[in-house]
Structure 1
Amino acid sequence: MDETATTTDVVVGLDGSAGARTALAWALQEARLRGGVVRPVTVWPEDRPPHVHDAGIGPPSAADVEGDVRSRMGSEAAEVAAAAGCEDVPVHPEVRHGQPAQQLIDAAGTDGLLVVGSRGRGPVRGAVLGSVSQQCAQYASGPVVVVRDDDAAPRAVLWQEPASRVVVGVDGSAGSVAALRFAEAEARLRGGELHVVHAWTDTVSGYGGPPWERPVTTLREQADAVLRQSMQSAWRDAAPDVQVRAETVEGVEWDVLTEVAEAADLLVVGSRGRTGWSSLLLGSVGLRCLTFSPCPVAVVRTPR
C-alpha cells in the first residue's frame, strides 16, 4: 500500500522562529511533490492569550486578531515559497488555541503529514530537540517529519533529482516495514534512490560469551535474512518502482543510520523497533536519530 497516496495535506507548525521557517520551506517542497496543500498552524497556549495593543479605537476582537495573525502567516509563507520556488503550492493558514503539540497533532490527524522544526521558541535554548517536536514525534497518529535548522544540517537539499536519496532503517518489526513503505513512496516522489539499511551488532562475542559460541558469519547471515524479510514484507504484491540499494552494516543502529544519512534528503524510522518498552511510541533509536541526524527525519507510526 502506498503510505502517501491519500496524504496530500502537509501541516507545519509556525511560531515565528528560524527553525519553523526552515520547516515551512521543507513542507512547501514536499507538498509540491505530492500535489497537495500546506496548512501552516500557529498555536496560542491557553495560559498565554495573545497581547493586543489598543490603537485608540478600542481593543480589536479575537476574530480580528486571528485574522491579522493568519494574514501575517500567509505573507511569511508567500515569502518562503518564493525563495523555495513553490509559489504554486496552495497555503491555508490556521490559528488554534491550546497545547501546541496536541493542536498540531489534531490538525494533521491520521492522514496528514506533520512537519515541525527541531527547535522553536521554547525556554531551553540549547536543546537540540525541542519539547514540541519531541511530543509530536512521540504521540502523533500519522507520520511526522522533524527538520533541523543548525550548523549540523546540510544547507543544500536535493528534491526531485536522480541524485536524491531516502534512507530507511529496518529491523524486521512491523514499525520498520511501515517505515520502508513510506520511504519507498518518498523516494518515488523524488525520482531518487531508496537506501535500505539494517544495522547489527556482535553482542554475543562482545558481552554474552566467548566469540566461538556463535560465529560472526552466522550473525551476519541472520542480519541479511532480516533485511530480506523486511523487504519481502513491505513488497508482497509488487516490486518497488524505485532504484533500491540494500545493505547490512555492523554497528549500533542509531550510529549507523545517522552516518549513512549524511547528505541524504530524508531519514525514515519506525516509531518503535524490536527494542525498548512497548508502552513507548518513540523508541531510543528514533529519538537518537531525531537528535543527531544530519538530515530531516520522518517518524512513521505502525498501522493499527
Structure 2
Amino acid sequence: MPRVVVGVSGALGSPAVLSRGAAEARVRDAELWVVMAWQAPGGELGSRSACNVSALAQCRTAVVERLREVLDEAFGTQGPAAALAGLTVRGTPGAALVDTARASDDLLVVGSGSRSPLRRLVRPSVARYCLAHAACLVLVVPSSPLHADLDAVHRRNLWHLPLDTRELTP
C-alpha cells in the first residue's frame, strides 16, 4: 500500500504540513505515516555513557508524548480519515525522513520551515536534505505568511525594538 510520510517537529508549521499530508493520503488512498525525529541529549557521543540510559528513556518518552499532542491538535478525536501511524525515529530529521520514505511510490511531505540567515548557518534545511536524498516524490509545504509575521514580532521583542504603529494599519 502506498504511504504518505509526513515529517513534523511540533513547531507552528506542523498542523499545516499534517493537514496537507492527510489530504494527499485521502486522494492517493494511502497510509499516513507521521514521523517525528529526535536526537539524544548531548548528541550521539553523549548518549554512549551508561549514566545516560535514563536520560535516553526520558527523551524518548517526551518525544512520543509530543507526537501524541501534535496529532491531537491536528486531528482531534476524529482522525485524518486515512490509516494513521505515528512513528518516532532517533536520528537527524532529514535522514530519518528519507529512511522512512524509501519506497519509490511513497510521498514525503515536509514543511519549508523558517529559514532566517542565522538558522541556515546553525541548522541545515530538512526540506533541502529531503529533496536531495529522497528516492520518492517530495512535497514541501510553504510557511504561512502569518508565521513570517510572528517571527518578525519575535525578533522585535528579542531585540527590544519599539513597535511602529504604522505596521498595524492595513
TM-score of the superposed pair, with normalisation by structure 2: 0.71
Distance in 2 between residues matched to 1:192 and 1:230, nearest whole Å? 20
Any idea what SS the aligned residue of 1:268 has? strand
Is residue 271 of structure 1 aligned with residue 112 of structure 2? yes
Is residue 249 of structure 1 aligned with residue 83 of structure 2? no
Q: 1:244 corresponds to which letter in structure 2?
A: L
Pick from 165, 170, 177: which aligns with 2:8?
A: 170
Cα gap change, 1:176 to 1:199, in 2 (>3 Å): same
Is residue 233 of structure 1 aligned with residue 73 of structure 2? yes
Pick from 44, 51, 55: which aligns with 1:212?
A: 51
Distance in 2 between residues matched to 1:220 and 1:287, nearest whole Å? 26
User: Which residue in 1 is equivalent to 2:154?
Assistant: none
CA-based RMSD of the aligned residues comes to 2.8
Q: 1:222 corresponds to which letter in structure 2?
A: A
Cα gap change, 1:298 to 1:249, in 2 (>3 Å): same
- Aligned pairs for 1:130-169 (under 5 A) are 163-169=1-7
How far 1:207 sits from its partner (Å)? 5.0
- Aligned pairs for 1:41-52 (under 5 A) are none
Is contact 1:169–1:198 with CA below 8 Å preserved after alignment? yes
Q: 2:51 corresponds to which letter in structure 1?
A: W
Cα gap change, 1:285 to 1:275, in 2 (>3 Å): farther
How far 1:279 sits from its partner (Å)? 7.9
**Higher RCO by CA contacts (8 Å cutoff, separation 6 or greater):** 2
Q: Higher helix fraction: Structure 1 or Structure 2? A: 2
Is residue 196 of structure 1 aligned with residue 34 of structure 2? yes
Cα gap change, 1:193 to 1:252, in 2 (>3 Å): same
Distance in 1 between residues matched to 2:57 and 2:101, nearest whole Å? 26
Distance in 2 between residues matched to 1:205 and 1:259, nearest whole Å? 19
Is contact 1:205–1:212 with CA below 8 Å preserved after alignment? no
Cα gap change, 1:247 to 1:212, in 2 (>3 Å): same
Is contact 1:171–1:274 with CA below 8 Å preserved after alignment? no
Cα gap change, 1:177 to 1:278, in 2 (>3 Å): farther
Is contact 2:111–2:143 with CA below 8 Å preserved after alignment? yes
Distance in 2 between residues matched to 1:187 and 1:300, nearest whole Å? 15
Pick from 9, 17, 24: which aligns with 1:179?
A: 17
Say which is worse superposed, 175-184 or 200-209, in terms of deviation.
200-209
Distance in 2 between residues matched to 1:262 and 1:181, nearest whole Å? 22
Distance in 1 between residues matched to 2:108 and 2:99, nearest whole Å? 11
Is contact 2:4–2:30 with CA below 8 Å preserved after alignment? yes
Any idea what SS the aligned residue of 2:135 has? coil
Is contact 1:165–1:192 with CA below 8 Å preserved after alignment? yes
How far 1:176 sits from its partner (Å)? 2.5
Unaligned runs of 5+ in 1: 1-162
- Aligned pairs for 1:285-304 (under 5 A) are 285-303=126-144, 304=146
Aligned residues: 140
How far 1:234 sits from its partner (Å)? 1.2
Is contact 1:175–1:273 with CA below 8 Å preserved after alignment? no
Unaligned runs of 5+ in 2: 147-170
User: Which residue in 2 is equivalent to 1:20?
Assistant: none
